[in-house]
Protein backbone atom coordinates (compact mmCIF):
# COMPACT_ATOMS: atom_id res chain seq x y z
CA UNK A 1 0.00 0.00 0.00
CA UNK A 2 1.57 3.31 -1.09
CA UNK A 3 1.79 6.43 1.08
CA UNK A 4 -1.21 8.16 -0.54
CA UNK A 5 -3.36 5.11 -0.07
CA UNK A 6 -2.37 4.82 3.58
CA UNK A 7 -3.22 8.50 4.10
CA UNK A 8 -6.62 8.14 2.44
CA UNK A 9 -7.43 5.03 4.44
CA UNK A 10 -6.50 6.78 7.70
CA UNK A 11 -8.67 9.75 6.74
CA UNK A 12 -11.54 7.44 5.86
CA UNK A 13 -11.20 5.59 9.17
CA UNK A 14 -11.11 8.93 10.94
CA UNK A 15 -14.31 10.05 9.17
CA UNK A 16 -16.10 6.83 10.11
CA UNK A 17 -14.91 7.19 13.73
CA UNK A 18 -16.21 10.77 13.88
CA UNK A 19 -19.52 9.63 12.39
CA UNK A 20 -19.88 6.85 14.97
CA UNK A 21 -19.12 9.36 17.73
CA UNK A 22 -21.97 11.51 16.34
CA UNK A 23 -19.54 14.31 15.41
CA UNK A 24 -21.51 14.75 12.23
CA UNK A 25 -20.18 18.11 10.99
CA UNK A 26 -16.54 17.05 11.40
CA UNK A 27 -17.25 13.71 9.72
CA UNK A 28 -18.97 15.49 6.84
CA UNK A 29 -15.90 17.64 6.18
CA UNK A 30 -13.75 14.52 6.13
CA UNK A 31 -15.99 12.71 3.63
CA UNK A 32 -16.35 15.78 1.40
CA UNK A 33 -12.56 15.70 0.92
CA UNK A 34 -12.55 11.96 0.24
CA UNK A 35 -15.40 11.91 -2.32
CA UNK A 36 -12.99 13.23 -4.95
CA UNK A 37 -10.60 10.31 -4.48
CA UNK A 38 -11.35 7.23 -6.57
CA UNK A 39 -10.32 4.70 -3.91
CA UNK A 40 -12.55 6.22 -1.22
CA UNK A 41 -15.25 7.75 -3.38
CA UNK A 42 -18.07 5.23 -2.92
CA UNK A 43 -17.70 5.01 0.85
CA UNK A 44 -17.44 8.80 1.18
CA UNK A 45 -20.50 9.39 -1.00
CA UNK A 46 -22.48 6.85 1.01
CA UNK A 47 -21.67 8.47 4.35
CA UNK A 48 -22.40 11.93 2.95
CA UNK A 49 -25.83 10.66 1.88
CA UNK A 50 -26.48 9.20 5.33
CA UNK A 51 -25.35 12.44 6.99
CA UNK A 52 -27.77 14.44 4.83
CA UNK A 53 -30.57 12.12 5.92
CA UNK A 54 -29.58 12.77 9.54
CA UNK A 55 -29.79 16.49 8.83
CA UNK A 56 -33.21 16.00 7.20
CA UNK A 57 -31.86 17.15 3.83
CA UNK A 58 -33.29 14.26 1.84
CA UNK A 59 -33.00 15.89 -1.60
CA UNK A 60 -29.26 16.34 -1.07
CA UNK A 61 -28.99 12.80 0.30
CA UNK A 62 -30.56 11.36 -2.84
CA UNK A 63 -28.01 13.15 -5.03
CA UNK A 64 -25.17 11.35 -3.28
CA UNK A 65 -26.85 7.95 -3.60
CA UNK A 66 -27.55 8.59 -7.29
CA UNK A 67 -23.85 9.41 -7.79
CA UNK A 68 -23.01 6.03 -6.29
CA UNK A 69 -25.41 4.26 -8.66
CA UNK A 70 -23.83 6.02 -11.64
CA UNK A 71 -20.56 4.32 -10.67
CA UNK A 72 -22.08 1.03 -9.49
CA UNK A 73 -25.80 0.45 -10.11
CA UNK A 74 -25.62 -2.73 -8.00
CA UNK A 75 -24.62 -0.90 -4.84
CA UNK A 76 -26.89 -2.49 -2.25
CA UNK A 77 -26.88 0.23 0.40
CA UNK A 78 -27.35 3.09 -2.07
CA UNK A 79 -30.43 1.35 -3.49
CA UNK A 80 -31.69 0.59 0.02
CA UNK A 81 -31.30 4.14 1.28
CA UNK A 82 -32.97 5.60 -1.79
CA UNK A 83 -35.87 3.23 -1.16
CA UNK A 84 -36.04 4.32 2.49
CA UNK A 85 -35.84 8.03 1.65
CA UNK A 86 -38.62 7.76 -0.91
CA UNK A 87 -40.64 5.77 1.63
CA UNK A 88 -40.16 8.56 4.16
CA UNK A 89 -41.30 11.08 1.54
CA UNK A 90 -44.36 8.87 0.81
CA UNK A 91 -43.25 8.49 -2.81
CA UNK A 92 -44.34 4.87 -2.82
CA UNK A 93 -43.74 4.06 -6.49
CA UNK A 94 -40.10 5.20 -6.38
CA UNK A 95 -39.58 3.50 -3.04
CA UNK A 96 -40.76 0.19 -4.48
CA UNK A 97 -38.27 0.48 -7.38
CA UNK A 98 -35.20 0.88 -5.17
CA UNK A 99 -36.29 -1.54 -2.45
CA UNK A 100 -36.91 -4.15 -5.15
CA UNK A 101 -33.48 -3.42 -6.64
CA UNK A 102 -31.99 -3.99 -3.20
CA UNK A 103 -33.54 -7.46 -2.99
CA UNK A 104 -32.30 -8.31 -6.49
CA UNK A 105 -28.78 -7.61 -5.23
CA UNK A 106 -29.33 -9.29 -1.86
CA UNK A 107 -32.59 -11.19 -1.37
CA UNK A 108 -31.88 -11.46 2.36
CA UNK A 109 -31.94 -7.72 3.03
CA UNK A 110 -34.46 -7.59 5.89
CA UNK A 111 -34.91 -3.80 5.86
CA UNK A 112 -35.94 -3.85 2.20
CA UNK A 113 -38.32 -6.76 2.86
CA UNK A 114 -39.78 -5.00 5.90
CA UNK A 115 -40.49 -1.74 4.09
CA UNK A 116 -41.98 -3.46 1.05
CA UNK A 117 -44.32 -5.25 3.46
CA UNK A 118 -45.17 -1.90 5.11
CA UNK A 119 -45.96 -0.46 1.68
CA UNK A 120 -48.42 -3.27 1.00
CA UNK A 121 -49.95 -2.67 4.43
CA UNK A 122 -50.43 1.02 3.58
CA UNK A 123 -51.84 0.05 0.18
CA UNK A 124 -54.43 -2.09 2.00
CA UNK A 125 -53.05 -5.27 0.40
CA UNK A 126 -53.26 -6.96 3.76
CA UNK A 127 -52.87 -10.62 2.84
CA UNK A 128 -49.79 -9.80 0.73
CA UNK A 129 -48.26 -7.75 3.55
CA UNK A 130 -49.06 -10.51 6.05
CA UNK A 131 -47.19 -13.08 3.94
CA UNK A 132 -44.13 -10.78 3.63
CA UNK A 133 -44.01 -10.06 7.36
CA UNK A 134 -44.26 -13.79 8.12
CA UNK A 135 -41.28 -14.49 5.85
CA UNK A 136 -39.22 -12.03 7.88
CA UNK A 137 -40.50 -13.54 11.12
CA UNK A 138 -39.15 -16.96 10.20
CA UNK A 139 -35.61 -15.61 10.56
CA UNK A 140 -36.39 -13.00 13.22
CA UNK A 141 -39.00 -14.68 15.49
CA UNK A 142 -38.55 -12.10 18.26
CA UNK A 143 -38.83 -9.04 16.00
CA UNK A 144 -41.64 -7.27 17.83
CA UNK A 145 -42.26 -4.70 15.07
CA UNK A 146 -42.75 -7.44 12.49
CA UNK A 147 -45.02 -9.40 14.84
CA UNK A 148 -47.03 -6.29 15.67
CA UNK A 149 -47.57 -5.59 11.96
CA UNK A 150 -48.80 -9.14 11.40
CA UNK A 151 -51.38 -8.42 14.09
CA UNK A 152 -52.36 -5.23 12.28
CA UNK A 153 -52.81 -7.23 9.05
CA UNK A 154 -55.17 -9.59 10.86
CA UNK A 155 -57.14 -6.72 12.40
CA UNK A 156 -57.47 -4.96 9.04
CA UNK A 157 -58.91 -8.20 7.65
CA UNK A 158 -61.38 -8.16 10.57
CA UNK A 159 -59.88 -11.31 12.12
CA UNK A 160 -59.73 -9.78 15.57
CA UNK A 161 -59.25 -13.02 17.50
CA UNK A 162 -56.06 -13.84 15.57
CA UNK A 163 -54.91 -10.24 15.94
CA UNK A 164 -55.45 -10.34 19.71
CA UNK A 165 -53.35 -13.51 19.98
CA UNK A 166 -50.50 -11.84 18.06
CA UNK A 167 -50.55 -8.68 20.17
CA UNK A 168 -50.49 -10.80 23.32
CA UNK A 169 -47.40 -12.56 21.94
CA UNK A 170 -45.81 -9.15 21.43
CA UNK A 171 -46.43 -8.29 25.07
CA UNK A 172 -44.75 -11.53 26.18
CA UNK A 173 -41.63 -10.40 24.28
CA UNK A 174 -41.87 -6.86 25.67
CA UNK A 175 -44.32 -6.27 28.52
CA UNK A 176 -44.78 -2.52 28.04
CA UNK A 177 -44.71 -2.33 24.25
CA UNK A 178 -46.91 0.71 23.71
CA UNK A 179 -48.10 0.06 20.16
CA UNK A 180 -48.98 -3.59 20.79
CA UNK A 181 -50.88 -2.64 23.95
CA UNK A 182 -52.80 0.01 22.01
CA UNK A 183 -53.55 -2.39 19.16
CA UNK A 184 -54.70 -5.03 21.66
CA UNK A 185 -57.06 -2.51 23.25
CA UNK A 186 -58.46 -1.57 19.83
CA UNK A 187 -59.14 -5.20 18.93
CA UNK A 188 -60.75 -5.96 22.28
CA UNK A 189 -63.05 -3.01 21.63
CA UNK A 190 -63.98 -4.48 18.24
CA UNK A 191 -65.08 -7.77 19.79
CA UNK A 192 -67.03 -5.76 22.40
CA UNK A 193 -64.86 -6.78 25.35
CA UNK A 194 -65.00 -3.24 26.65
CA UNK A 195 -63.77 -3.95 30.18
CA UNK A 196 -60.50 -5.55 28.98
CA UNK A 197 -60.18 -2.87 26.33
CA UNK A 198 -60.33 -0.21 29.07
CA UNK A 199 -57.62 -2.04 31.06
CA UNK A 200 -55.28 -1.95 28.07
CA UNK A 201 -56.00 1.64 27.11
CA UNK A 202 -55.13 2.56 30.69
CA UNK A 203 -51.88 0.58 30.37
CA UNK A 204 -51.01 2.74 27.36
CA UNK A 205 -51.62 5.83 29.51
CA UNK A 206 -49.29 4.41 32.16
CA UNK A 207 -46.58 4.26 29.47
CA UNK A 208 -47.47 7.64 27.97
CA UNK A 209 -49.58 9.82 30.25
CA UNK A 210 -51.32 11.94 27.59
CA UNK A 211 -51.61 9.45 24.75
CA UNK A 212 -54.40 10.95 22.64
CA UNK A 213 -55.54 7.83 20.79
CA UNK A 214 -55.73 5.83 24.04
CA UNK A 215 -57.94 8.51 25.58
CA UNK A 216 -60.21 8.52 22.54
CA UNK A 217 -60.31 4.71 22.78
CA UNK A 218 -61.43 4.99 26.41
CA UNK A 219 -64.08 7.45 25.29
CA UNK A 220 -65.47 4.91 22.79
CA UNK A 221 -65.55 2.19 25.46
CA UNK A 222 -67.43 4.37 27.92
CA UNK A 223 -69.93 5.38 25.24
CA UNK A 224 -70.54 1.68 24.61
CA UNK A 225 -71.03 1.14 28.36
CA UNK A 226 -73.40 4.14 28.58
CA UNK A 227 -71.09 6.01 30.94
CA UNK A 228 -71.52 9.27 29.09
CA UNK A 229 -69.80 11.58 31.58
CA UNK A 230 -66.53 9.61 31.36
CA UNK A 231 -66.99 9.14 27.62
CA UNK A 232 -67.36 12.84 26.93
CA UNK A 233 -64.50 13.65 29.29
CA UNK A 234 -62.04 11.42 27.46
CA UNK A 235 -63.36 12.51 24.07
CA UNK A 236 -61.97 15.96 24.80
CA UNK A 237 -58.57 14.46 23.92
CA UNK A 238 -59.56 14.63 20.24
CA UNK A 239 -58.75 18.36 20.27
CA UNK A 240 -55.03 17.62 20.57
CA UNK A 241 -55.14 15.76 17.23
CA UNK A 242 -56.46 18.79 15.36
CA UNK A 243 -53.11 20.49 14.78
CA UNK A 244 -54.48 23.14 12.43
CA UNK A 245 -57.02 24.08 15.12
CA UNK A 246 -54.34 24.26 17.80
CA UNK A 247 -52.39 26.73 15.66
CA UNK A 248 -55.58 28.70 15.07
CA UNK A 249 -56.34 28.79 18.80
CA UNK A 250 -52.83 30.02 19.54
CA UNK A 251 -53.45 32.87 17.10
CA UNK A 252 -56.91 33.62 18.53
CA UNK A 253 -55.71 33.80 22.14
CA UNK A 254 -52.87 36.12 21.20
CA UNK A 255 -54.96 38.46 19.05
CA UNK A 256 -58.07 38.63 21.25
CA UNK A 257 -56.67 37.77 24.69
CA UNK A 258 -59.57 35.35 25.17
CA UNK A 259 -59.79 31.96 26.88
CA UNK A 260 -61.51 28.61 26.43
CA UNK A 261 -65.09 28.64 27.74
CA UNK A 262 -66.59 25.96 29.95
CA UNK A 263 -69.35 27.22 32.24
CA UNK A 264 -68.37 30.82 32.96
CA UNK A 265 -71.11 33.54 32.80
CA UNK A 266 -71.69 34.41 29.15
CA UNK A 267 -74.35 37.11 29.23
CA UNK A 268 -73.25 40.05 27.12
CA UNK A 269 -70.05 38.25 26.09
CA UNK A 270 -68.65 37.33 22.67
CA UNK A 271 -67.84 33.67 22.07
CA UNK A 272 -66.29 31.99 19.02
CA UNK A 273 -67.36 28.42 18.22
CA UNK A 274 -64.90 26.45 16.12
CA UNK A 275 -66.22 23.90 13.65
CA UNK A 276 -64.72 20.45 13.96
CA UNK A 277 -63.80 17.36 12.00
CA UNK A 278 -66.18 16.45 9.18
CA UNK A 279 -69.27 18.14 7.77
CA UNK A 280 -71.42 15.51 9.49
CA UNK A 281 -70.11 16.54 12.91
CA UNK A 282 -70.97 20.17 12.23
CA UNK A 283 -74.47 19.24 11.09
CA UNK A 284 -75.08 17.02 14.09
CA UNK A 285 -73.77 19.36 16.77
CA UNK A 286 -74.94 22.74 15.43
CA UNK A 287 -77.98 22.14 17.68
CA UNK A 288 -75.80 23.16 20.64
CA UNK A 289 -75.38 26.65 19.18
CA UNK A 290 -79.16 27.00 19.52
CA UNK A 291 -78.88 25.80 23.12
CA UNK A 292 -76.07 28.26 23.82
CA UNK A 293 -78.17 31.14 22.52
CA UNK A 294 -81.21 29.99 24.52
CA UNK A 295 -79.22 29.52 27.73
CA UNK A 296 -77.12 32.68 27.59
CA UNK A 297 -77.71 36.15 26.22
CA UNK A 298 -74.44 36.21 24.30
CA UNK A 299 -73.04 36.99 20.87
CA UNK A 300 -72.01 33.82 19.03
CA UNK A 301 -69.58 33.62 16.12
CA UNK A 302 -69.37 30.29 14.28
CA UNK A 303 -66.11 29.73 12.39
CA UNK A 304 -66.71 27.58 9.30
CA UNK A 305 -65.25 26.59 5.97
CA UNK A 306 -66.70 28.91 3.32
CA UNK A 307 -67.84 25.92 1.21
CA UNK A 308 -70.35 24.82 3.85
CA UNK A 309 -71.20 28.17 5.47
CA UNK A 310 -74.44 28.54 3.46
CA UNK A 311 -75.88 25.43 5.17
CA UNK A 312 -75.69 27.06 8.63
CA UNK A 313 -76.96 30.56 7.89
CA UNK A 314 -80.19 29.94 9.87
CA UNK A 315 -78.25 29.21 13.06
CA UNK A 316 -78.58 31.91 15.77
CA UNK A 317 -75.05 33.18 15.29
CA UNK A 318 -72.83 35.15 12.97
CA UNK A 319 -71.14 32.88 10.45
CA UNK A 320 -67.43 33.66 10.18
CA UNK A 321 -65.15 32.39 7.42
CA UNK A 322 -62.40 34.94 8.11
CA UNK A 323 -61.37 35.83 11.67
CA UNK A 324 -60.70 39.44 10.70
CA UNK A 325 -64.51 39.80 10.66
CA UNK A 326 -64.44 39.75 14.48
CA UNK A 327 -63.50 42.84 16.48
CA UNK A 328 -63.30 41.36 19.96
CA UNK A 329 -63.76 38.02 21.73
CA UNK A 330 -64.11 36.92 25.35
CA UNK A 331 -64.17 33.15 24.85
CA UNK A 332 -63.75 30.38 22.31
CA UNK A 333 -64.82 26.75 22.32
CA UNK A 334 -64.92 23.71 20.01
CA UNK A 335 -68.34 22.76 18.67
CA UNK A 336 -68.32 19.19 20.00
CA UNK A 337 -67.27 20.35 23.47
CA UNK A 338 -70.60 22.19 23.67
CA UNK A 339 -72.19 18.74 23.85
CA UNK A 340 -70.03 17.92 26.90
CA UNK A 341 -70.86 21.20 28.63
CA UNK A 342 -74.56 20.76 27.85
CA UNK A 343 -74.45 17.25 29.32
CA UNK A 344 -72.77 18.58 32.47
CA UNK A 345 -75.54 21.14 32.90
CA UNK A 346 -78.62 19.33 31.56
CA UNK A 347 -77.61 15.64 32.00
CA UNK A 348 -78.96 14.71 28.55
CA UNK A 349 -78.35 15.06 24.82
CA UNK A 350 -80.11 17.82 22.92
CA UNK A 351 -82.53 16.76 20.21
CA UNK A 352 -82.15 17.72 16.57
CA UNK A 353 -83.22 21.18 15.41
CA UNK A 354 -84.02 21.51 11.68
CA UNK A 355 -82.13 24.54 10.48
CA UNK A 356 -80.95 23.95 6.90
CA UNK A 357 -82.25 26.69 4.55
CA UNK A 358 -84.14 26.02 1.35
CA UNK A 359 -83.07 27.14 -2.13
CA UNK A 360 -86.42 27.53 -3.85
CA UNK A 361 -85.19 27.60 -7.45
CA UNK A 362 -82.91 24.57 -7.11
CA UNK A 363 -85.57 22.76 -5.10
CA UNK A 364 -88.18 23.33 -7.83
CA UNK A 365 -85.77 22.12 -10.51
CA UNK A 366 -85.17 18.80 -8.74
CA UNK A 367 -88.83 18.42 -7.83
CA UNK A 368 -89.71 18.59 -11.54
CA UNK A 369 -86.91 16.23 -12.53
CA UNK A 370 -87.73 13.61 -9.93
CA UNK A 371 -91.52 13.56 -10.27
CA UNK A 372 -91.27 11.40 -13.41
CA UNK A 373 -89.92 8.45 -11.41
CA UNK A 374 -91.98 5.75 -9.75
CA UNK A 375 -92.44 6.07 -6.00
CA UNK A 376 -91.18 5.24 -3.42
CA UNK A 377 -88.06 7.14 -4.44
CA UNK A 378 -85.02 6.01 -2.45
CA UNK A 379 -81.55 7.60 -2.43
CA UNK A 380 -78.56 5.43 -1.54
CA UNK A 381 -74.99 6.05 -0.41
CA UNK A 382 -72.84 2.98 0.19
CA UNK A 383 -69.40 4.33 1.02
CA UNK A 384 -67.56 7.16 2.78
CA UNK A 385 -64.16 8.74 2.28
CA UNK A 386 -61.69 5.84 1.90
CA UNK A 387 -59.01 7.90 3.68
CA UNK A 388 -61.04 7.84 6.88
CA UNK A 389 -59.23 5.65 9.44
CA UNK A 390 -62.06 3.16 9.99
CA UNK A 391 -63.66 3.39 6.55
CA UNK A 392 -63.40 -0.38 6.02
CA UNK A 393 -65.87 -0.81 8.87
CA UNK A 394 -68.48 1.58 7.54
CA UNK A 395 -68.35 1.42 3.71
CA UNK A 396 -70.18 -1.43 1.98
CA UNK A 397 -69.15 -2.84 -1.42
CA UNK A 398 -71.93 -1.99 -3.87
CA UNK A 399 -72.23 -5.63 -4.96
CA UNK A 400 -74.02 -6.46 -1.69
CA UNK A 401 -76.98 -4.29 -2.79
CA UNK A 402 -77.57 -6.45 -5.87
CA UNK A 403 -80.90 -8.02 -4.85
CA UNK A 404 -82.20 -4.84 -3.29
CA UNK A 405 -81.74 -2.44 -6.18
CA UNK A 406 -83.35 -4.89 -8.61
CA UNK A 407 -86.58 -4.72 -6.62
CA UNK A 408 -89.05 -3.11 -9.05
CA UNK A 409 -91.21 -1.82 -6.20
CA UNK A 410 -88.74 1.03 -5.66
CA UNK A 411 -86.75 3.58 -7.65
CA UNK A 412 -83.15 4.02 -6.50
CA UNK A 413 -81.05 7.16 -6.89
CA UNK A 414 -77.31 7.33 -6.28
CA UNK A 415 -76.05 10.27 -4.22
CA UNK A 416 -72.58 8.77 -4.10
CA UNK A 417 -69.71 10.91 -5.38
CA UNK A 418 -66.08 9.90 -5.99
CA UNK A 419 -66.19 7.97 -9.24
CA UNK A 420 -69.39 6.16 -8.30
CA UNK A 421 -70.60 6.04 -11.93
CA UNK A 422 -67.79 3.66 -12.84
CA UNK A 423 -68.57 1.47 -9.85
CA UNK A 424 -72.25 1.32 -10.84
CA UNK A 425 -71.35 0.35 -14.41
CA UNK A 426 -68.77 -2.19 -13.25
CA UNK A 427 -71.45 -3.97 -11.22
CA UNK A 428 -73.90 -3.69 -14.16
CA UNK A 429 -76.32 -1.71 -12.01
CA UNK A 430 -76.73 1.25 -14.39
CA UNK A 431 -80.11 -0.15 -15.54
CA UNK A 432 -81.41 -0.03 -11.98
CA UNK A 433 -79.82 3.04 -10.34
CA UNK A 434 -80.54 6.59 -11.45
CA UNK A 435 -77.14 8.23 -11.17
CA UNK A 436 -76.92 12.01 -10.73
CA UNK A 437 -73.49 12.00 -9.11
CA UNK A 438 -71.70 13.85 -11.93
CA UNK A 439 -74.13 16.74 -12.11
CA UNK A 440 -74.81 17.66 -8.50
CA UNK A 441 -73.14 20.18 -6.19
CA UNK A 442 -71.09 21.82 -8.95
CA UNK A 443 -71.44 25.43 -7.78
CA UNK A 444 -68.55 25.29 -5.30
CA UNK A 445 -71.00 24.97 -2.43
CA UNK A 446 -71.28 21.65 -0.62
CA UNK A 447 -74.64 19.86 -0.94
CA UNK A 448 -76.36 22.68 -2.85
CA UNK A 449 -78.19 20.16 -5.10
CA UNK A 450 -78.13 17.26 -2.66
CA UNK A 451 -80.28 19.16 -0.16
CA UNK A 452 -83.00 19.67 -2.79
CA UNK A 453 -82.84 16.06 -3.94
CA UNK A 454 -83.20 14.83 -0.35
CA UNK A 455 -86.26 17.06 0.12
CA UNK A 456 -87.94 15.40 -2.85
CA UNK A 457 -87.39 11.72 -2.05
CA UNK A 458 -89.12 9.28 0.27
CA UNK A 459 -86.13 7.70 1.99
CA UNK A 460 -82.34 7.74 2.27
CA UNK A 461 -80.37 4.52 2.80
CA UNK A 462 -76.82 5.37 3.80
CA UNK A 463 -73.73 4.25 5.63
CA UNK A 464 -72.30 6.51 8.34
CA UNK A 465 -71.34 9.66 6.43
CA UNK A 466 -72.26 13.35 6.42
CA UNK A 467 -75.16 12.45 4.11
CA UNK A 468 -76.85 10.69 7.04
CA UNK A 469 -76.68 13.81 9.19
CA UNK A 470 -77.77 16.05 6.32
CA UNK A 471 -80.88 13.99 5.57
CA UNK A 472 -81.80 13.48 9.21
CA UNK A 473 -81.43 17.21 9.94
CA UNK A 474 -83.72 17.88 6.96
CA UNK A 475 -86.18 15.44 8.63
CA UNK A 476 -85.96 13.03 5.70
CA UNK A 477 -86.70 9.43 6.66
CA UNK A 478 -83.27 7.77 6.93
CA UNK A 479 -82.04 4.19 7.28
CA UNK A 480 -78.51 4.13 8.68
CA UNK A 481 -76.47 0.99 7.95
CA UNK A 482 -73.95 0.25 10.70
CA UNK A 483 -71.33 -2.39 11.33
CA UNK A 484 -71.44 -4.35 14.58
CA UNK A 485 -69.24 -1.88 16.46
CA UNK A 486 -69.65 1.55 14.84
CA UNK A 487 -68.53 5.11 15.55
CA UNK A 488 -68.84 6.27 19.16
CA UNK A 489 -71.99 8.37 18.65
CA UNK A 490 -74.08 5.38 17.61
CA UNK A 491 -73.36 3.65 20.90
CA UNK A 492 -75.48 6.19 22.71
CA UNK A 493 -78.80 4.59 23.64
CA UNK A 494 -81.30 5.43 20.98
CA UNK A 495 -84.50 4.75 22.88
CA UNK A 496 -85.47 8.39 23.07
CA UNK A 497 -84.26 9.26 19.56
CA UNK A 498 -81.77 11.62 21.17
CA UNK A 499 -80.08 12.46 17.88
CA UNK A 500 -82.70 12.27 15.13
CA UNK A 501 -86.43 11.49 15.35
CA UNK A 502 -86.60 10.24 11.77
CA UNK A 503 -83.55 7.98 11.71
CA UNK A 504 -83.60 4.20 12.09
CA UNK A 505 -80.55 2.00 12.46
CA UNK A 506 -79.84 -1.35 10.84
CA UNK A 507 -76.90 -2.75 12.75
CA UNK A 508 -74.99 -5.93 11.90
CA UNK A 509 -74.62 -8.54 14.65
CA UNK A 510 -71.39 -9.85 13.11
CA UNK A 511 -68.60 -7.56 11.84
CA UNK A 512 -68.66 -7.01 8.06
CA UNK A 513 -71.40 -9.59 7.52
CA UNK A 514 -72.72 -7.55 4.62
CA UNK A 515 -74.28 -10.63 2.98
CA UNK A 516 -77.20 -10.21 5.35
CA UNK A 517 -77.72 -6.50 4.68
CA UNK A 518 -80.14 -6.81 1.73
CA UNK A 519 -82.66 -8.96 3.59
CA UNK A 520 -82.51 -6.64 6.61
CA UNK A 521 -83.14 -3.57 4.44
CA UNK A 522 -85.93 -5.28 2.47
CA UNK A 523 -87.68 -6.21 5.69
CA UNK A 524 -87.46 -2.63 6.92
CA UNK A 525 -88.70 -1.21 3.60
CA UNK A 526 -91.69 -3.52 3.82
CA UNK A 527 -92.52 -2.06 7.23
CA UNK A 528 -92.06 1.56 6.09
CA UNK A 529 -93.96 1.35 2.79
CA UNK A 530 -96.63 -1.23 3.66
The H-or-E segment that residue 191 falls in is none
Q: Cβ-count burial of 509 within 10 angstroms (0-12 exposed, 13-18 middle, 19+ buried)?
A: exposed
Range in 172-176, 439-443, 478-482, 494-498 the model is least confident about: 494-498
What's the confidence (pLDDT) of residue 38?
67
Name which residue leads in pLDDT, 388 or 92.
92
What's the confidence (pLDDT) of residue 446?
80
Across the range 144-151, mean pLDDT stands at 97
Can you state the percent helix, strand and coil of the chain, rounding each to 5? 60, 10, 35
What's the confidence (pLDDT) of residue 37?
65
CA torsion through residues 42, 43, 49, 52, sign: negative
Q: Tell me the pLDDT tens digit for each residue of 519-528.
A: 889 999 999 9
DSSP letter at 351? Answer: P
Averaged pLDDT score across all residues of the chain: 90
**CB atoms closer than 10 angstroms to residue 350:** 18
What is the CATH topology of the domain spanning 50-237? 1.25.40
- pLDDT of 497 above 70: no
What percent of the chain shows pLDDT beyond 90?
Answer: 61
What's the confidence (pLDDT) of residue 1?
47
Q: Cβ-count burial of 512 within 10 angstroms (0-12 exposed, 13-18 middle, 19+ buried)?
A: middle
What is the CATH topology of the domain spanning 360-528? Rossmann fold (3.40.50)
Across the range 484-510, mean pLDDT stands at 79
Closest C-alpha to 227, from 235, 499, 188: 235
374 alpha carbon, distance to own chain's centre: 38
Across the range 8-34, mean pLDDT stands at 80
DSSP letter at 285? Answer: H
What's the confidence (pLDDT) of residue 348?
87
Q: Give the integer Cα–Cα distance in Å for 166 and 186.
A: 13
> Where in the chain do CATH 3.40.50.2000 domains reside?
360-528
| Order of strands across the sheet that contains 478-482 | 433-435, 411-414, 377-381, 459-462, 478-482, 503-507
- pLDDT of 119 above 90: yes
| Number of separate helices (H) and strands (E) present in the chain | 24, 11
Q: Cβ-count burial of 279 within 10 angstroms (0-12 exposed, 13-18 middle, 19+ buried)?
A: buried
Confidence of residue 515 (pLDDT cuts 50, 70, 90): confident
* φ and ψ of 234, to 5 deg: -70, -25
> Where in the chain do CATH 1.25.40.10 domains reside?
50-237
Q: Enumerate residues 6+ apart whose C-beta is below 8 A from 454.
A: 379, 415, 460, 470, 471, 474, 476
Q: Bridge-partner residues for 333, per DSSP?
A: 273
Across the range 263-276, mean pLDDT stands at 93
Amino acid sequence: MDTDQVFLQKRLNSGIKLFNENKIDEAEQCFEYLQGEKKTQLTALFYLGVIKIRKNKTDEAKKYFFKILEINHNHEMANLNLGLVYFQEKNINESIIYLTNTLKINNENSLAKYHLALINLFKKEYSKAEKQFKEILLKEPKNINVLNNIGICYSKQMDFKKAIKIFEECLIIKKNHKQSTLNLANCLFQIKNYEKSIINYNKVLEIEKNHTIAKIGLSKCYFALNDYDKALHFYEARKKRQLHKLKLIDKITKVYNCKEWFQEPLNGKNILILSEQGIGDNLQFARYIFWLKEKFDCNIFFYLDKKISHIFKNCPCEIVTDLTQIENLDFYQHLLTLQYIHFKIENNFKRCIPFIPNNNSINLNWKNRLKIFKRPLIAIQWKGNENFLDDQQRSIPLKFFKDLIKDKNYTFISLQKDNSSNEIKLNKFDKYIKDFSEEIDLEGKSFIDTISILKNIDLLISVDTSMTHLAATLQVKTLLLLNSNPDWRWHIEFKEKCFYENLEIIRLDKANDWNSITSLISKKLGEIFK
